[in-house]
Structure 1
């Protein structure tokens, strides 16, 4: 029995040793397997990164849109500008220069507007296409000596966009009211809907006229040309002499004096109104409260 027990102990120890070796081998094998499989994940990651890089490189248009002008904002070429200019010329023959100014305006595809002229000067208003404004100013500057030149630009892009948006909204509103008019049954409903439709159509027409005015201001530029004669002597004051001259001077002095008196009375009027009326009422009230005087009765004469 002792030998068998010792034998069993040896067998158990050998079994435990074999079990420990087997666990170490399995751990090594699992480690080596994981070490071989691990590199496959970075390859997949790099592949996906390349795919994403390739897809991002394959869409340059989207990148350009992201880096371009924000949505809803007009670019430089889409701005709506109203341009105006003023030009002053000096020439020896004013009527001839005015005729040349008209010809330049017509040649540029524009037209002349308001004109004012006298013996020594003239003023002409021109309307020319906005894209030919600079060329027209250069042609006008060649007609005489330029004494002054001004040019201004007003940006009306926001006004144009706002009017277009309002028109679109108002059109939709008019269509809705028209649909309601088709569904109206009674005379009262028809009258009420027609009145509302008339009001909204009038507002729509007003907005459309505003849009047309803005479009015309953007399409056509205004130029104000002033032409004066070279060496024009200053106007001399009119001299008055003799009886009639003295009479005219006296009449002017009388009118000046009368105007000054009326000016003073006009300035005192509010004070007289707000102070004089209460003063008059106060005086009237005091006179009313004063007791009436009893007339003295004459003493009777002694009887004789």
Structure 2
């Protein structure tokens, strides 16, 4: 009868202890999870902020260095602000040379250019034309599309005069400064010899300045206007080509005969050039020889005999 209450009390005590342990474990786990949950958002908030700061810094650096690098690349690239003097040569074949020359002249005038020198005949025509440099390619395209004739030969050339232009501009600036200094000395001159000497120096430096200005204008004109040399011939005219190499005996014999004739002609020209001088020298020598012979033929004069007494 006493055993049953004891067992009941023990069972109740064990149940209370188990309940207390379970409550303590649940409190500990909830505290740890709360702490972790509180720390995780803080770290998450800090990490994106740092990442965004680093990303923004790198992005700002890239944005800052990108345009500078591109600008440096453009400045160092060839062809930037270059001064080019362009020329072109063109040979056309046409059935009507005069009409082709008129067509060429009309195209150049329409492009804003002008004709510098012309020589036109029924067989050939030679024209020296000047067009704006920015329209050179368009004019050449119109002249070579078949409207003025068939293209036989074509060539272009571009000379870089950038360094010459910069050098001339620098020398002009220096010369003007020097001229201003000399003119200031002229204003302070007192004696006549000093004034004359300074005026002579001013004149010399003004002449050098005018020469530099004229050279700058020529360079600017060659850059602004391009020259086209056009040669128009009849379409049935043969195209001049380089002769083929011929190593046969007859060709060698012909070359030797031509060389012999050339050498013989040269010798004859030398003889013809020296013949008048040789004739004059022969005449002078003949006169001198005759005089010497006459002098030798005359007997010597007899010595004077002293008188006696």
Partner Cα separation in structure 1 for residue 94 and residue 195 of structure 2: 68
Query: Taking structure 1 as reference, are residues 148 and 293 closer, same or farther at Cα in structure 2, changes over 3 Å only?
Result: same
Q: Which residue of 2 aligns with 1:189?
A: 194
SS in 2 for 1:126: strand
1:131 equivalent to 2:134? Answer yes
Aligned to 2:273: 266
1:147 paired with 2:152, answer yes
- Give the TM-score taking structure 2 as reference length: 0.58
The question of whether the paired residues in 1 share the 8 Å contact of 2:97 and 2:121 is answered with: no
Q: Deviations over 1:163-199 (max 9, x none)?
A: 1111111011001011111111122211111110011
Question: Is 1:86 equivalent to 2:56 in the alignment?
Answer: no
Q: Secondary structure at the match of 1:216?
A: helix
> Do 2:98 and 2:121's aligned partners in 1 also have CA atoms closer than 8 Å?
no
Aligned counterpart, 2:234: 229
- CA–CA separation in structure 2 for the residues paired with 1:104 and 1:55: 55
Q: Which residue of 2 aligns with 1:237?
A: none
Deviation, 1:77, is 2.2
Q: Which runs of 5+ in 1 are unaligned?
A: 1-49, 235-257, 298-304
Deviates more, 1:224-233 or 1:126-135: 224-233
Task: Return closer, same or farther for 1:190/1:75 CA change in 2, 3 Å cut-off.
Answer: farther
1:210 aligned to 197, 212, 215, which one? 215
Mapping of residues 18-37 of structure 1, within 5 Å: none
Match of 1:76 among 75, 79, 92: 79
Structure 1: distance between partners of 2:301 and 2:178? 91
Structure 2: gaps (5+ residues): 1-53, 240-264, 303-309
Instruction: Establish whether residue 99 from structure 1 lines up as the match of residue 102 from structure 2.
Output: yes
The 2-side partners of 1:167 and 1:187 are apart by: 30
Which deviates more, 61-70 or 224-233? 61-70
Shift of residue 122, structure 1, vs aligned partner: 0.7
Could you give the per-residue CA deviations for residues 220-262 of structure 1, whole angstroms, max 9, x where no partner exists?
001111111222599xxxxxxxxxxxxxxxxxxxxxxx99866
Q: 1:69 to 1:233 in 2, by over 3 A?
A: closer
Instruction: Tell me which residue corresponds to 1:166.
Output: 171
Please give the secondary structure, in 2, of the residue aligned with 1:228. Answer: strand
Q: Could you tell me which residue of structure 2 aligns to residue 179 of structure 1?
A: 184
CA deviation after TM superposition for structure 1 residue 119, in Å:
2.2
How many Å separate the matches in 2 of 1:148 and 1:200?
Answer: 47
Question: Compared with structure 1, are the counterparts of its residues 130 and 291 closer, same or farther at alpha carbon in structure 2 (3 Å cutoff)?
Answer: same
The residue that corresponds to 1:110 in the other structure is 113
CA distance in 2, matches of 1:161, 1:74: 18
- Relative to 1, partners in 2 of residues 1:295 and 1:181: Cα closer, same or farther, differing over 3 Å? closer
Q: Give, in whole Å, the separation in 1 of the partners of 2:175 and 2:129.
A: 35
In structure 1, C-alpha distance between the alignment counterparts of 2:232 and 2:224, rounded to whole Å: 26
Gap change, CA 1:266 and 1:63, over 3 Å in 2: same
